[in-house]
Structure 1
Amino acid sequence: MGTIVERKRKSGGVGYHAQVAVKRDGLSHRETKTFDRLPAARAWIKKREHELGQPGALTSAKVDDPTLADVIDRYVKDSRGSLGRTKAQVLTAIKGFDLAEKRCSAITSAEVVAFAAELSAGRQPQTVGNYLAHLSAIFAVAQPAWGYPLDPAQMRAAQTVAKRLGLTAKSSMRERRPTLDELDRLMTHFGEVRTRRPGTIPMQAIIAFALFSTRRQEEITRITWGDLDEDGSRILVRDMKNPGQKAGNDVWCELTPEALAIVRALPRPAARIFPAGTDAISAAFTRACAFLGIVDLHFHDLRHEGVTRLFEMGRTLPLAASVSGHRSWQSLQRYTHVRQTGDKYAGWKWLKVLTKPV
């Protein structure tokens, strides 16, 4: 028996969400479609229930031409490597749009462009571009891997159109760097939090380590004591982010003296050096910035600050890359246009505080 649910759209209109669910001979199938008019939704339910009642139709509908949502589920299930938090979140979000209810054979470039236009309401063009980029991975795999009629050419055409219409854009490079005053306020705040609640995340050490090691947030949470080189001059960064590769991309990176001193001063209650999750770190950092009135500062900006510092201290491209882990020196070019020279963190009081052995 089909069902219809009335839904309010972001545009202010109303859509009728029709669903057909059939279970027979050990097989189950569910599909949904949204209509602008109630009679059209009723007619579609009647038509699909009749079609699915034909011999072999249930098996064919489930296997040969599934909905985009079903393909996304299979992609997530069959992916052996980690999808990454952002990609997983985006794919889950896409399943909540009308496009995910459509069958593979019905998805054209026009459908994808319409999806991009719907996304653009309340989202930046860079964000819409990221959504389409993650969705394109589904199109690239579905047909050659599983034989589903999802045409990669339609996705490529849609991305071209979306770009020319201004619906998508490349992410702009951030140039935000924390000031010494902002860092001082953050460190003071987290010190007070730690004093009141000793069991909280050691955000002071995490912030300082992120800055001096140039490590990304996810990399910091994965590092174990066993990843330290014997003499402490290097650290093994597991699953380092790199275009086209992440899982299994383990890289030895030089550890600056300041980062090593911070690590050596920490207790060893667990296998991981910083036993905290990325969500907890992000939430703590974001809340602190909001509380302190620090505007538009992201945790990832600490890495940018750390890499820029290396060049300000006179490091060459190869020497800076040995710390940051960049494979392409071209990626480091943005950091080389320094406005000052020397180390502004020389004598930084918080380094002395954090390097006292516990």
Structure 2
Amino acid sequence: MASYSVRKRVKKDGTPKYQTFIRVKESGKVVYTESRTFTKEKAAQSWGKKRVVEIEEQGYRETGSNVSLRDLIQTFLDDPHIQLGRTKVSVLKMLCDCDIGNLPITELKAQHVIEHCKNRKETGTKPQTINHDVSYLRWALKSAKPHLGYDVSDQCVVDAYPVLHDLTLIAKSERRSRRPTSKEIDKLKEGLKARESHRENKIPYIDILDFSILSCMRIGEVCAIRWEDVDEEQKAVLVRDRKDPRKKVGNHMLVPLLGGSWEILQRQPKTDERIFPVNSRSVTAGFQRVRNALGIEDLRYHDLRREGASRLFELGYTIDEVAQVTGHRNINTLWQIYTELFPRRLHDKSLNQK
């Protein structure tokens, strides 16, 4: 069944534009989309009605020739079978609102990708962030053919890469090496303890902070673990859907709780199916407020995960053993932490071989 809708969009100069979206659904699933932009609402409505009639009478061709990047992305966002992470969804929605989203996917060229990146840089966006734009744009184009049968490829992005790198419009994310000092952690605990004392507070900030460091879990993982997933015999907990760039769901991992993390877990009240039944964003927001009030600079909650891994290395655990706790599938990140902590060990081995 074909249908159309008209959306009004206002350009930066205040000029109104009217975009007509055509969608064809079969068995409740969108199987074809296209769009066209007009300066007059009446023209947009007229074209939409005409195209619906044409499609009903003549059918549609899954070539992608009339499909805009915005429509393509929206199709993926609407598909419940496609698992997308929060960052990916955010970037894809942003691409829909950019000028590049108006272009037909079959007409996209390297110059369009480069122009998009230049526009983003002019707004103050960092090259590392723009790199996400390009990566997820490429993903959308690569997925168009196998998912929807559209005759399109990611060649425009591939062709743009050399220029994007030469102009430093994109760059890889910088590796962080920030660790909180013992004094900073003490100050944070003092501030969080004061926050815990507020009558309306229901977040055990101190326990969550210590547990985050000792378990090396991401804050989202900490706030998601459940009592039913606790293994009393092995003193471990099952972390569900652990982050993996190659697989979004089903990455369950049994994580040993070392140090005092097991004791922290055991003393939590069993008032909910979750061990820490709080919103992870509320935890990080409280942490950030205390951090800012203390004047502690350039420290993120996620840095506590690195702190935990560093402590395990300092206690003598091997990279493979630390990976079992942190959940790293690729140990390159852990290797870098290890070599930063113990750079002299490589020199010592070299001297012993002489």
- After TM superposition, give the deviation of residue 286 of structure 1 in Å: 1.8
Superposition CA RMSD, Å: 3.4
Which consecutive residues of structure 2, in runs of 5 or more, have no partner in the other structure?
Answer: 26-32, 344-354
- After TM superposition, give the deviation of residue 298 of structure 1 in Å: 0.6
Deviates more, 1:186-195 or 1:16-25: 16-25
Matching residue within 204, 228, 231 for 1:229: 231
Distance 1:217 1:160, change over 3 A: farther
> Which amino acid in the other structure matches residue 228 of structure 1?
V
Aligned pairs for 1:176-215 (under 5 A) are 176-197=178-199, 199-215=201-217
TM-score by length of 1: 0.81
Are the equivalent residues in 1 in contact too, given 2:216–2:306 (CA < 8 A)? yes
Aligned pairs for 1:208-357 (under 5 A) are 208-337=210-339, 339=341
Provide the rounded CA distance (Å) in 1 between the counterparts of 2:105 and 2:322: 47
Provide the rounded CA distance (Å) in 2 between the counterparts of 1:302 and 1:157: 39
Corresponding pairs, count: 329
Provide the rounded CA distance (Å) in 2 between the counterparts of 1:24 and 1:253: 46
Are the equivalent residues in 2 in contact too, given 1:19–1:45 (CA < 8 A)? no
Provide the rounded CA distance (Å) in 2 between the counterparts of 1:114 and 1:204: 47
Structure-1 residue corresponding to 2:50: 53
Are the equivalent residues in 2 in contact too, given 1:212–1:256 (CA < 8 A)? yes
Structure-1 residue corresponding to 2:351: none
> Which amino acid in the other structure matches residue 243 of structure 2?
K
Structure-2 residue corresponding to 1:348: none
Provide the rounded CA distance (Å) in 2 between the counterparts of 1:173 and 1:292: 25
Distance 1:5 1:320, change over 3 A: closer
- After TM superposition, give the deviation of residue 240 of structure 1 in Å: 1.1
Deviates more, 1:85-94 or 1:41-50: 41-50
SS of alignment partner, residue 295 of structure 1: coil
Provide the rounded CA distance (Å) in 1 between the counterparts of 2:142 and 2:24: 33
> Which amino acid in the other structure matches residue 176 of structure 1?
R
Provide the rounded CA distance (Å) in 2 between the counterparts of 1:102 and 1:61: 18
Are the equivalent residues in 1 in contact too, given 2:35–2:71 (CA < 8 A)? no
Distance 1:95 1:50, change over 3 A: closer
Provide the rounded CA distance (Å) in 2 between the counterparts of 1:149 and 1:25: 18
Provide the rounded CA distance (Å) in 2 between the counterparts of 1:167 and 1:333: 29
SS of alignment partner, residue 142 of structure 2: helix
Structure-2 residue corresponding to 1:73: 74
Matching residue within 122, 126, 130 for 2:132: 130
Sequence identity (%): 29
- After TM superposition, give the deviation of residue 77 of structure 1 in Å: 2.4
Aligned pairs for 1:75-224 (under 5 A) are 75-80=76-81, 82-120=83-121, 121-197=123-199, 199-224=201-226
SS of alignment partner, residue 74 of structure 1: helix
Which consecutive residues of structure 1, in runs of 5 or more, have no partner in the other structure?
Answer: 9-13, 34-40, 342-358
Are the equivalent residues in 2 in contact too, given 1:69–1:95 (CA < 8 A)? yes
- After TM superposition, give the deviation of residue 232 of structure 1 in Å: 4.8
SS of alignment partner, residue 141 of structure 2: helix
Structure-2 residue corresponding to 1:18: 17
SS of alignment partner, residue 236 of structure 1: strand
Deviations 1:297-316 (A, max 9, x none): 11110000100111111111
